[in-house]
Structure 1
Amino acid sequence: MPVTGDVKAVDASQPGDSQVQVYAVAPRDGATPNEVVDGFLESMTSDDSDFRTTRKYLTQEASKAWKPSALTTVLAKAPNRSDRPSHEGDRSTTEVTYTLSGEKVATVDEQNAYQPLAQTDYARTLHLVRQNGPDGKEWRIDIVPDGLVLGQSDFKRLYRSVNKFYFATGRSETQSTLVADPVYIRNRTDPVTGTDTVTQAVRSLLRGPTDWLRPVVESRFPAGTGLRKDVISLTPDDRNVLKVPLNKKADGAGQRSCRMMASQVLFTLRDLTSARVEQVELQRSDGSPLCVLGSDQAEEYAPDGSSGGPDSQYFVDAKKHVQRIPGSTRGSGKPEPVAGPFGAGPARVSEVGVARDEQLAAALSEHHDALYVASITEDGQLPAPAVTSKADGSEDRLTAPSWDGRGDLWVADRDPDNSRLLRLAGGAGKPQEVTVPSLNGSRIEGLRLSSDGVRIALLLKSDGHTTLRIGRIERQGPQDKQRVSVVDLRQAAPQLADVTAMSWSGGSRLVVVGKEQGGVQQVRYVQADGSTPASGVLPGVNQVRAIAAADDEQLPLMADTQGDGIVKLLPGDNWQTVLKEGSALVYPG
């Protein structure tokens, strides 16, 4: 039970059930202004086609001008309306104004991109007029803000998160890898376009990446490519083959480009349909096949860049050496020392980061003042430090290292006199300082690189609190003289006042350990865009110091705890102790 913090009122209503469907009801004859406003707000939570019924609460002019798809504002709870509108009380009045209020927590823009916000007050006005109707005088709304206003429970019922996929820029075709771009689409049918979820997802994919990700990814679909005009629904056939008719812009695409286009569609739809799409056939504007790609053939572009084999786990044992748990054992195998100086040499290490190909590892010295890079598959001597820190205390020195999907090594020096983020291309050579323009005085306490190499998760400390931010990695210039920066930091867990540990868990999801204001420690999943999945909260575990997850969701979640050692969590199970002695467990990356 919490022992600190204020007493809070709890909303007893159940969260939105995606199987529940709300049907819009038109205003009754003689409806009062209160009934018109309440009916309009309720109707916005429906799947009303083109919001035809919802628009009946508006005047003709307001109905034509209202753009429900312009923006979706998400409030902590359903919007409140003022009980006593202005101008009410005089029976002869012909207009009234209501105030809609609430706590704004997020928005979804026209690109379907989710943007979390620190809870802020929301206030908008609805203006009603009394006009002549077919059955006499009637109240209708004549001034209404564009977009939808929904409480969180209705938003979760109506929308679902979908990852679109685009290719990381600046890589050769043989090294091309897909990057997840999360968006929110309607759960059943989009009221504005009348399209189902599969068609919505494909249309969104063809429109291109969201603004935040656009500078570092590209689509293989030629500019202007869209679905053929007569396409209103995309449905896999009984062999799980999806045929996608495209417009003329794609007619001239070559086979290599077409296969890459088809892989974007396959991965976008992978978790969207009840029956997995096994093959995609892209069609020209005349209906002839452009190319066909099966799901197994698309694996060469897999977002996690994996070779198909399970990842091993690595940790620091009680003697301060690095050991490996074979990946095929799902965290239950017998640990074995790695080869090289980290496994049995004289070096005593405190943290380890293993390259994704499991050939090299980077390890911190016992007191966090030096970073070494060495092979873990061949014997050798401990090399000279690749990075050193001159800070006085270990808590002000180097962070745990992390490798990106391009084979580069990253680490941060927390030295108050020389705070910096560093990158070693290929894990070797002179460290390059990476600029982070939007730190605003915050200090990097931890970092983890995504497998695609275009995003970085940072734990930033400021004013006594540590929060989670996601940054976009931009690279300029030739490979040997690249200038790298981390830009556009955005919140990834705004509901947590303090985050103590985190790890990537797939293409656009992270597992985090943290506390809400005045709350207790919890382990939960968050999306890279800052939204929270419906099944985000995980079983509790005590005093977690570090967390590790793999891109493969079937591999166990691992945690380093203060009292129980290293523990693991498999899907549908409870936490189990793996090792009583050991710390700093990581998956490659």
Structure 2
Amino acid sequence: MIALLGCGVVLLSACGSMPVTGDIKSVDASQPGESQVQVYAVAPRENATPGEVVDGFLESMTSDDPGFRTTRKYLTKEASRTWKPSAFTTVLSKAPNRSEHPVRDSDRSSTELTFTLTGEKVATVDAQSAYQPVAPTGFNRSLHMVRQNGSKEWRIDFVPDGLLLGQSDFKRLYRSVNKYYFATGSAAGQSTLVADPVYVRNRTDPITGMDTVTQTVRSLVEGPTNWLRPVVDSRFPIGTVLRKGVTALAPDDRSVLKVPLNKKADGVGQRSCRMMASQVLYTVRDLTSARVEQVELQRSDGSSLCVLGSDQAEEFAPDGSSGGPDSQYFVDDKGHVQRIPGSTKGSGDPEPVAGPLGDGPEPMSTVGVARDEQLAAAVSRNSASLYVASVVSGGELPGPAVTSEAKKPEDRLSAPSWDGRGDLWVADRNPDDRRLLRLPGGTGEPSNVAVPDLGGARIEALRLSADGVRIALLLTEDGHTTLKIGRIERQGGPDTRQGVSVVELRKAAPQLADVTAMSWSGRSRLVVVGKEQGGVQQVRYVQVDGSAPASGVLPGANQVSSVAAADDEQLPLMADTEDDGIVKLSPGDNWQTVLKKGSSLVYPG
């Protein structure tokens, strides 16, 4: 394959014509990081062998071939007409292997062939562009070939729908983006935006001809992915789409992004329109080199429906505010809860919190602090009791809110976590009575949360997302601890009587055989500590959909037992280590010791 750096073009075969200017060098078709290099497919050469046809077809799927027109030239006319490349994408650990199987019937042996494509499947991307990882499994798919009537040319006459890509090609061709929708069942007066990650093509999509921003806005307007749909709402009326013919969206010289819609949105009121515009603004703000400061939604006739600026969109901010809590809390060596003040980025002097958790008689082992930093929940040193108390005013330590009857400390209560709605969650790991508990408002009566997909697994740890609709669980089963994400469904109104369940658990770090610790880090990302099969401990980022960013591996730290990250991704990552105490990792820096003594450091949440 040849790359023309001066033109930003890669030809997938040396058989095609190409410009003769610019520097020339050989590159690997699966070379990651070449996102600015455009790759074009080349049609099959005359009298190409069956193997060359199969190879050319597979390589052309990794190109930027408009409409996959060149790719279809490797197919018979009927197969070209029926093949649907946009149905889904299968991602393999690397490009597929092929093996040839001649037809045994002697009458057809010179006119038909079957090829088997094999590899290790690691993920699929569905028609909604939603990524779904799988535990690495064997992949096997057949292609049938025929010699065309009246010619000696071989073509593929049976090919399953969809694209088949190696992992490095997938990362080169696609990028992860967050769409935003409103959480259902929010408390009165609250409108919380929830990130819904999908994968869209870098540059231009071969099927639609849309650039990356337009693909993303189109996906947003079409609605949330199926997994998230039961717990979010879109303010775009059903049937709303981009105006016909729109393939390129970009902010103008005033940083305004204008989005033309069809007639379905013409009659939308101003409040709903502003909420629609906020969905667009938060979705596209990191997609363009020029920052979008305003979104203007347009009616089908081109007139302005509404305009929303960045400052006006703050009321819909996904984190509930422009900043979010930035203080850190931990348990000192005496079992008291202390606070490192916000805006010090982990460098301030610790101070005991007010109230009984800061100087009370009961030593604690773990702590979780509400996002408004008014209440905290702490588990006693023997892990048997959960206490909830104010951290801004004094008072006596109230009685335990939850008690575990398990015989061993490691079988008792997990560290607590608060969701974005102010509810408190904790797991009782008692082998005789395993429970996931929710305390409405932090002080309400504990109620059992159903987890139908749990099976025989035990909840070791849990962390709630800021949006309140997802929960990260560390689950132990058959000697391994894995990370899964569950969807939180609420039946009834936003009050203490609503029924709550966690459903459709899905793997979030399938590449890790064992996960030791995790924390939410932003709107659709987690930081995890774990090991690959037979590997050493690593600290890395994973997306909530289970995909792993190329730059996700972080500098290693010694024997990390817990990790804490903030909703604001610019705040330092904190970790408990066996040898170095509590350490922090600021963006672009190395791990630094913050406290030699102390444990269970957390951000609010």
Class of the TM-score when normalised by the shorter of the 2 chains = over 0.9
C-alpha displacement at 1:137, in angstroms?
Answer: 2.1
C-alpha displacement at 1:22, in angstroms?
Answer: 2.1
CA distance in 2 between counterparts of 1:29 and 1:129 reads 15
Q: Deviations over 1:562-584 (max 9, x none)?
A: 10000000111110111111110
CA distance in 2 between counterparts of 1:402 and 1:241 reads 39
Q: Could you tell me which of 556, 570, 584 is aligned with 1:568?
A: 584
1:55 has 2:57 as partner: no
Q: Deviations over 1:295-319 (max 9, x none)?
A: 1211111112235255100001111
Partner of 1:514: 530
Of 81-90 and 162-171, the range deviating more from structure 2: 81-90
Kindly indicate whether the alpha-carbon contact (under 8 Å) linking 1:86 and 1:98 is maintained by their aligned counterparts in 2. no
Aligned with 1:502: secondary structure?
Answer: strand
CA distance in 1 between counterparts of 2:84 and 2:31 reads 30
Q: For 2:297, give the aligned amino acid.
A: L
1:83 and 1:93, CA in 2 relative to 1: closer, same or farther beyond 3 A? closer
1:138 and 1:54, CA in 2 relative to 1: closer, same or farther beyond 3 A? same
C-alpha displacement at 1:556, in angstroms?
Answer: 0.1
C-alpha displacement at 1:138, in angstroms?
Answer: 0.6
Partner of 2:267: 252
Aligned with 2:343: secondary structure?
Answer: helix
1:354 has 2:369 as partner: yes
Partner of 1:402: 417
Partner of 2:140: 123
1:13 and 1:35, CA in 2 relative to 1: closer, same or farther beyond 3 A? closer
CA distance in 2 between counterparts of 1:86 and 1:391 reads 65
C-alpha displacement at 1:346, in angstroms?
Answer: 1.2
1:389 has 2:404 as partner: yes
Q: Could you tell me which of 480, 491, 510 is aligned with 1:494?
A: 510
Question: RMSD over aligned Cα, in angstroms?
Answer: 1.6
What does 1:69-468 correspond to in 2, within 5 Å?
69-83=86-100, 85-86=102-103, 93-132=110-149, 136-172=151-187, 174-306=189-321, 308=323, 310-468=325-483
Q: For 1:549, give the aligned amino acid.
A: A
Where structure 1 has 5 or more consecutive residues not aligned to the other structure, the ranges are 1-10
Q: Deviations over 1:183-239 (max 9, x none)?
A: 000011110000000000000001100000000000001111111113222111011
Kindly indicate whether the alpha-carbon contact (under 8 Å) linking 2:30 and 2:168 is maintained by their aligned counterparts in 1. no
Q: For 1:257, give the aligned amino acid.
A: S
CA distance in 1 between counterparts of 2:578 and 2:449 reads 33
Q: Could you tell me which of 521, 539, 542 is aligned with 1:523?
A: 539
CA distance in 1 between counterparts of 2:260 and 2:455 reads 48
Q: Could you tell me which of 553, 561, 570 is aligned with 2:569?
A: 553
Partner of 1:586: 602
Q: Deviations over 1:377-411 (max 9, x none)?
A: 00111000000000001100000000000000000
CA distance in 2 between counterparts of 1:13 and 1:197 reads 21
1:538 has 2:554 as partner: yes
Q: For 1:499, give the aligned amino acid.
A: V
Q: For 1:462, give the aligned amino acid.
A: E
Aligned with 1:343: secondary structure?
Answer: helix
CA distance in 1 between counterparts of 2:55 and 2:106 reads 19
CA distance in 1 between counterparts of 2:118 and 2:233 reads 40
Kindly indicate whether the alpha-carbon contact (under 8 Å) linking 1:326 and 1:335 is maintained by their aligned counterparts in 2. yes
Where structure 2 has 5 or more consecutive residues not aligned to the other structure, the ranges are 1-27
Q: For 1:583, give the aligned amino acid.
A: S
CA distance in 2 between counterparts of 1:306 and 1:265 reads 18
CA distance in 1 between counterparts of 2:583 and 2:29 reads 34
CA distance in 1 between counterparts of 2:260 and 2:219 reads 15
CA distance in 2 between counterparts of 1:147 and 1:27 reads 20
C-alpha displacement at 1:19, in angstroms?
Answer: 2.8
Q: For 2:564, give the aligned amino acid.
A: A
Aligned with 1:480: secondary structure?
Answer: coil
Of 480-489 and 83-92, the range deviating more from structure 2: 83-92
Q: Could you tell me which of 56, 61, 64 is aligned with 2:81?
A: 64
CA distance in 2 between counterparts of 1:322 and 1:12 reads 54
Aligned with 1:19: secondary structure?
Answer: coil
Partner of 1:4: none
1:12 and 1:307, CA in 2 relative to 1: closer, same or farther beyond 3 A? closer
Q: For 2:262, give the aligned amino acid.
A: N
1:419 and 1:92, CA in 2 relative to 1: closer, same or farther beyond 3 A? closer
C-alpha displacement at 1:13, in angstroms?
Answer: 7.7
CA distance in 2 between counterparts of 1:144 and 1:126 reads 5
Kindly indicate whether the alpha-carbon contact (under 8 Å) linking 1:126 and 1:141 is maintained by their aligned counterparts in 2. yes
C-alpha displacement at 1:14, in angstroms?
Answer: 5.0
1:254 and 1:91, CA in 2 relative to 1: closer, same or farther beyond 3 A? closer
1:86 and 1:565, CA in 2 relative to 1: closer, same or farther beyond 3 A? farther
**Percent of aligned positions that are identical:** 79
C-alpha displacement at 1:86, in angstroms?
Answer: 4.7
Kindly indicate whether the alpha-carbon contact (under 8 Å) linking 2:324 and 2:568 is maintained by their aligned counterparts in 1. no
C-alpha displacement at 1:132, in angstroms?
Answer: 3.8
CA distance in 2 between counterparts of 1:307 and 1:279 reads 16
Q: Deviations over 1:75-134 (max 9, x none)?
A: 00101111555559999701111000000000000000000001111111111110146x
CA distance in 2 between counterparts of 1:362 and 1:480 reads 18
Q: For 1:468, give the aligned amino acid.
A: L
1:85 and 1:573, CA in 2 relative to 1: closer, same or farther beyond 3 A? farther
Q: Could you tell me which of 24, 27, 32 is aligned with 2:49?
A: 32
Kindly indicate whether the alpha-carbon contact (under 8 Å) linking 1:469 and 1:489 is maintained by their aligned counterparts in 2. yes
1:486 and 1:383, CA in 2 relative to 1: closer, same or farther beyond 3 A? same
Q: Deviations over 1:312-341 (max 9, x none)?
A: 000011111011011110111111110000
Q: Deviations over 1:275-301 (max 9, x none)?
A: 111100001111111110011211111
Partner of 2:58: 41
* Structure-1-length-normalised TM-score: 0.96
CA distance in 2 between counterparts of 1:465 and 1:92 reads 50
CA distance in 1 between counterparts of 2:50 and 2:378 reads 67
